[in-house]
Chain A
Amino acid sequence: MSNQNAAGNVISESTIAICGNPNCGKTTIFNAITGLNQRVGNYPGVTVEKVSGTFSVDSTNKHSFTLVDIPGTYSLSAFSPDEDIAVSALIGSLKDAKSPDGIICVLDATNLERSFAFLLQVIEIGRPIVVAVNMVDLVERRGLKINFEKMSQSLGGIPVVPVIGNRRVGIEELKKAAADLPNRKPITVGTNYGPEAEKLFERLVNESNNGHRNRAEYLRVIFDANSPAEERFLLEEPDLMEVLREGQSRIKEVHGSLSLTETAVLSEKAATLFQEIVTIVRPPKTRNSERIDRVLLHPVFGPIILLLTMIIVFQSIFSWSEPLMNLIDSSFSWLASQVEAVMSPGPLQSLLTDGIIGGVGSVLIFLPQIVILFLFIAILEDSGYMTRAAFLVDRLFRWCGLSGKSFIPLLSSFACSIPGILATRTIEDRKLRYITIMVAPLMTCSARLPIYAIMIAAFIPHKTYLGILNLQGIVLSSLYLLGIVVAVIVSFILKKVIFKTERGTFLMELPSYKIPTVHSVSIRVLNRAKSFLLRAGTVILAITIIIWALSYFPHDGKITHQFASQAETARFELKESTQIYSSRLDNFYESAPVDVRSAVDDIRESFSVGNNIEDFTLIRSQMNEQHNELYGPIEALYEIQRQELATETALTELKNLEAGAYLRNSLLARIGKTLEPAFKPLGWDWKITMAILAAFPAREVAIATIGTIYNLGTETDEESLSLIDKMRQARWDDGPRQGEFVFTPAVALSIMVFFALCLQCGATVVTIRKETSSWWYAWGTFTYMTVLAYVAALGVYQLLERFIY
């Protein structure tokens, strides 16, 4: 493919796939080559994640390459539907997806024999290949010596590049070799699978009516009986069914097994290659990883360490992020006040400060928590501990209808259920995977935290029991626990009633422990932060603006009119009633001698310092002590100050009433009032109802909406109340409870429980749809969670209202 770049040069684009066994360092090398030029997508029509990135070798960007990270597999013989898609993308048998122009095959230097078996299969694809031997830094410690020249020779002249992916050693050479791939011819090493298989291969090639298949595709059809690959082939070539079946049973007859025939040939050839290329200098010592496992997988210490790790992770999410969150919070307040200062009041100012800055700011505040959580997940995953954690909890999770492999997805879901749902791809068993997907959104994601944080801070008393148990902490932990307990119950029911799962598998390699590198961890965290910011900048911003518009319009000028005349009256009355004091004071001043005048000036100045009625009373008595002969003027000045203050308070009150009147008259309020009856049993007024309904596309919106509603509903001046105070003062504006406070601990708990259980996240619904290829699962999850949330919130509110508060 070629097209023109901005400079008018013709640029050519080639696609290069990067493949290898799991944990051989593909992603590390992929990141090293592409840096942040990455994009996550899906293979057309299917659900397997496709990560691609671009790179070029010369600064002119004449040739740009697309690099695709193929999910790791142990062989081209797919074990699960998703592996099938990954493998098909590599082989080139996937519909609508172009097969790669070249392949980088990553071999794990510490596991060369197994890697060779995989490479031999990849060679059969018949594409130009470059071999990257990764982790060469570990070879010496293992007591091995690798002859790279010999390796290239034995593999028919394939370029071989030694690499240390996490230290970027050899990456430039690898890039150059990869860029050269489209100019190279594919090589063959002539692996022979025995006369029966080879004969079948020839017959299939000769009798097929599609001349474009490569040898690897035919080998999949021959050796993987009843596989999707075979199915696809027979769909295209129904006439060859007989030939295939006959050939397959012939192989089985002679070798005793179909699929093991291929593996046996590959292992044998791989073993020969290994002997030619690798010298064992000294026998390996006991594996370090095994020694670490003795502690970390210890029957008693293992689970304790796991529990401690999780406690530390969650503790840090809360404590480390606090200063950063405060910083973000105050910067946004500052920004809003700056905008307010330079702009004249009106719709635009309101949109900017109440809508955009208030709304987006209330979301961005969670960036620190997201970054810290993903930092931990990246470190735990890269170090190799995550797989161990899955090992430790497998049995426990199976009792609940899940698998140890559900652990990582569910843990990630505590940050955000979307990466959690994507992480379920490692679960081969479809049903188990769907169960995990359907309960993942019940884990308390970080988007729920803002609501919890604000409700708890505002309405749950700061009480301590038995010296250490803090009521606010208990409530927060209970909400986390609620999600987990409900998830256990739901997955148990799903397993028993709906999916009726068979036993899954837990067959995998425990990767060796590694020290995670700053580079790979930071790339992962940055990518996460990027997509979070993108979300805050798009979906959440859009909803915030809509909510603002609904709560601002129709901005009926009559309301201002009405309140303006009341304000006028108040100002007029003030003038009237202070008149008598001012004139008295003026008369006194004019006839007074100079020293008395300056005393009066002093008194006047003293009063101007005061702000509230207490100040003024205090100043009055001080002045009376200092100048007891000036009782009259002091009284007059005091009266003037007192009345001015009273009027000012009345005017602010009027402004608030005006803002409240506007809000009550808004479209949002009309919608909210209509819906209020459905949510009144949960203790919610129309404002809460609207905030929570607005949060269905994205939870973070709830706080933004509450912020917008209460900002619009109150006059914001430089001493404006915090959002918490505004909520504490909110009262029912009509109905049987008119005048009572809206928020009680029972209402706060009902809101929090609703949030804990409800699927208020459009992106998650879409992700479930994508991952399961079915709207059924997406809406099924949405429905059960929403119903559960409503019922639980109703129960909590009614119980608490009746029996406790």
Chain B
Amino acid sequence: MTYLNMMVPGQSGRVVGFSDDSKMVRRLYELGIQPGRSIIYLRNAPFRDPLEVQVGYNLITLRKSEASLIAIEVDE
């Protein structure tokens, strides 16, 4: 298991859980980043932050600091 911010562009995985219980986590959840869903790390912005991910059919952008809250099981 790892965290979203540790992955590299192109990798995909499955959301396992969150490392805290804040408003931020709730918003992640509402945007579709929910345990059990698969997530694709698409790309970084210039200077490697923020990043773009795909969850289901949605494209979402978040910063590395926010990505570090999301625990991921990386696909082989």
- A residues within 8 Å of B by Cβ? 74-75, 77, 79, 110-111, 113-114, 117, 142, 257-260, 263-264, 267, 284, 287, 289-290, 293-294, 297, 299, 302-303, 387, 391-392, 394-396, 404, 503, 505-510, 512
Tell me the minimal C-beta distance from B39 to chain A in angstroms: 14
Tell me the minimal C-beta distance from B24 to chain A in angstroms: 7
Q: A260-B25, A395-B50 are in contact. Are A506 and B59 (CB under 8 A)?
A: no
Q: What separation, in Å, do the CA atoms of A802 and B47 have in the docked complex?
A: 44
Q: A110-B57, A111-B58 are in contact. Are A507 and B24 (CB under 8 A)?
A: yes
Q: A503-B65, A510-B52 are in contact. Are A299 and B27 (CB under 8 A)?
A: no
Are A267 and B52 in contact, CB atoms less than 8 angstroms apart?
A: no
Measured between beta carbons, the chain B residues less than 8 angstroms from A294 are 43
Chain A CB count within 10 A is highest, among B23, B28, B49, B52, for: B23
Measured between beta carbons, the chain B residues less than 8 angstroms from A299 are 43-44, 46
Measured between beta carbons, the chain A residues less than 8 angstroms from B44 are 299
Are B61 and A395 in contact, CB atoms less than 8 angstroms apart?
A: no
Other than the known A290-B59, A507-B31, A509-B31, what 4 A-B pairs have Cβ atoms closer than 8 Å? A260-B26, A287-B57, A396-B47, A507-B62
Query: Interface digits, B32-61 against A, CB 8 Å rule (1 contact, 0 not)?
Result: 101000000011111111101010111111
Are A510 and B43 in contact, CB atoms less than 8 angstroms apart?
A: no
In the complex, residue of chain B having the shortest beta-carbon distance to the beta carbon of A80: B23
Q: What separation, in Å, do the CA atoms of A293 and B29 have in the docked complex?
A: 24
Q: Which of A79, A263, A293, A303 contacts B43 (CB 8 A)?
A: A293
- Check if B30 is an interface residue, CB within 8 A of chain A: yes
Interface size range of chain B in the complex: 20 to 34
In the complex, residue of chain B having the shortest beta-carbon distance to the beta carbon of A306: B46
- Check if B73 is an interface residue, CB within 8 A of chain A: no
Q: What separation, in Å, do the CA atoms of A248 and B40 have in the docked complex?
A: 35
- Check if B21 is an interface residue, CB within 8 A of chain A: yes
Are B50 and A404 in contact, CB atoms less than 8 angstroms apart?
A: yes
Tell me the minimal C-beta distance from A709 to chain B in angstroms: 50
Q: Which of B24, B43, B62 contacts A297 (CB 8 A)?
A: B43
Are B66 and A505 in contact, CB atoms less than 8 angstroms apart?
A: yes
Are B21 and A508 in contact, CB atoms less than 8 angstroms apart?
A: no
Are B27 and A507 in contact, CB atoms less than 8 angstroms apart?
A: yes
Tell me the minimal C-beta distance from A510 to chain B in angstroms: 4
Are A260 and B59 in contact, CB atoms less than 8 angstroms apart?
A: no
In the complex, residue of chain B having the shortest beta-carbon distance to the beta carbon of A262: B26
Are B66 and A507 in contact, CB atoms less than 8 angstroms apart?
A: yes
In the complex, residue of chain A having the shortest beta-carbon distance to the beta carbon of B67: A507
Q: A394-B45, A395-B47 are in contact. Are A508 and B60 (CB under 8 A)?
A: yes
Q: What separation, in Å, do the CA atoms of A505 and B63 have in the docked complex?
A: 7
Chain A CB count within 10 A is highest, among B30, B34, B42, B49, for: B30
In the complex, residue of chain B having the shortest beta-carbon distance to the beta carbon of A21: B30
Are B57 and A111 in contact, CB atoms less than 8 angstroms apart?
A: yes
Measured between beta carbons, the chain A residues less than 8 angstroms from B59 are 287, 289-290, 293, 509-510, 512
Tell me the minimal C-beta distance from B62 to chain A in angstroms: 5
Q: A391-B61, A505-B63, A506-B61 are in contact. Are A297 and B52 (CB under 8 A)?
A: yes
Measured between beta carbons, the chain B residues less than 8 angstroms from A287 are 54, 57, 59
Tell me the minimal C-beta distance from A750 to chain B in angstroms: 38
Are A290 and B54 in contact, CB atoms less than 8 angstroms apart?
A: yes
Tell me the minimal C-beta distance from B4 to chain A in angstroms: 12
Q: What separation, in Å, do the CA atoms of A394 and B34 have in the docked complex?
A: 25
Are B61 and A284 in contact, CB atoms less than 8 angstroms apart?
A: no
Are A79 and B52 in contact, CB atoms less than 8 angstroms apart?
A: no
Q: A74-B27, A391-B52 are in contact. Are A114 and B32 (CB under 8 A)?
A: yes
Measured between beta carbons, the chain A residues less than 8 angstroms from B66 are 505-507
Measured between beta carbons, the chain A residues less than 8 angstroms from B61 are 387, 391, 506-510
In the complex, residue of chain B having the shortest beta-carbon distance to the beta carbon of A294: B43
Are B21 and A260 in contact, CB atoms less than 8 angstroms apart?
A: yes
In the complex, residue of chain A having the shortest beta-carbon distance to the beta carbon of B59: A510
Are A257 and B32 in contact, CB atoms less than 8 angstroms apart?
A: no
Q: List 12 A-B contacts (CB under 8 A).
A: A75-B26, A114-B31, A263-B26, A263-B30, A284-B57, A290-B42, A303-B46, A394-B50, A396-B46, A505-B63, A506-B63, A507-B28
Q: What separation, in Å, do the CA atoms of A284 and B32 have in the docked complex?
A: 17
Q: What separation, in Å, do the CA atoms of A294 and B42 have in the docked complex?
A: 9
In the complex, residue of chain B having the shortest beta-carbon distance to the beta carbon of A390: B61
Are B30 and A114 in contact, CB atoms less than 8 angstroms apart?
A: yes
In the complex, residue of chain A having the shortest beta-carbon distance to the beta carbon of B63: A506
Measured between beta carbons, the chain A residues less than 8 angstroms from B60 are 507-510
Q: What separation, in Å, do the CA atoms of A142 and B57 have in the docked complex?
A: 10
Q: What separation, in Å, do the CA atoms of A289 and B54 have in the docked complex?
A: 11
Measured between beta carbons, the chain B residues less than 8 angstroms from A395 are 45-50
Measured between beta carbons, the chain B residues less than 8 angstroms from A264 are 29
Q: A503-B65, A507-B62 are in contact. Are A391 and B27 (CB under 8 A)?
A: no
Tell me the minimal C-beta distance from B3 to chain A in angstroms: 15
Are B30 and A75 in contact, CB atoms less than 8 angstroms apart?
A: yes
Q: What separation, in Å, do the CA atoms of A277 and B47 have in the docked complex?
A: 43
Tell me the minimal C-beta distance from A216 to chain B in angstroms: 16
Measured between beta carbons, the chain A residues less than 8 angstroms from B58 are 111, 114, 509
In the complex, residue of chain B having the shortest beta-carbon distance to the beta carbon of A289: B59
Measured between beta carbons, the chain A residues less than 8 angstroms from B42 are 290, 293
Q: What separation, in Å, do the CA atoms of A111 and B31 have in the docked complex?
A: 11
Measured between beta carbons, the chain A residues less than 8 angstroms from B24 are 505, 507
Q: What separation, in Å, do the CA atoms of A391 and B27 have in the docked complex?
A: 18
Tell me the minimal C-beta distance from A118 to chain B in angstroms: 8
Tell me the minimal C-beta distance from B76 to chain A in angstroms: 22
Measured between beta carbons, the chain B residues less than 8 angstroms from A396 are 46-47
Measured between beta carbons, the chain A residues less than 8 angstroms from B65 are 503
What 9 pairs across the A-B complex have the smallest Cβ distances?
A: A395-B47, A510-B59, A74-B30, A259-B26, A507-B62, A506-B63, A506-B50, A263-B29, A257-B21
Are B26 and A77 in contact, CB atoms less than 8 angstroms apart?
A: yes
Measured between beta carbons, the chain B residues less than 8 angstroms from A289 are 59
Q: What separation, in Å, do the CA atoms of A287 and B32 have in the docked complex?
A: 17
In the complex, residue of chain A having the shortest beta-carbon distance to the beta carbon of B49: A395
Measured between beta carbons, the chain A residues less than 8 angstroms from B26 are 75, 77, 259-260, 263
Tell me the minimal C-beta distance from A664 to chain B in angstroms: 59
Measured between beta carbons, the chain B residues less than 8 angstroms from A392 are 45-46
Q: What separation, in Å, do the CA atoms of A310 and B30 have in the docked complex?
A: 34
In the complex, residue of chain B having the shortest beta-carbon distance to the beta carbon of A77: B26
Q: What separation, in Å, do the CA atoms of A506 and B29 have in the docked complex?
A: 15
Measured between beta carbons, the chain B residues less than 8 angstroms from A507 are 24, 27-28, 31, 60-63, 66
Are B23 and A259 in contact, CB atoms less than 8 angstroms apart?
A: yes
Q: A259-B26, A510-B59 are in contact. Are A293 and B52 (CB under 8 A)?
A: yes
Tell me the minimal C-beta distance from A293 to chain B in angstroms: 7
Q: A267-B34, A303-B46 are in contact. Are A259 and B21 (CB under 8 A)?
A: yes
Measured between beta carbons, the chain A residues less than 8 angstroms from B48 are 395
Q: Which of B21, B49, B50 contacts A258 (CB 8 A)?
A: B21
Tell me the minimal C-beta distance from B16 to chain A in angstroms: 14
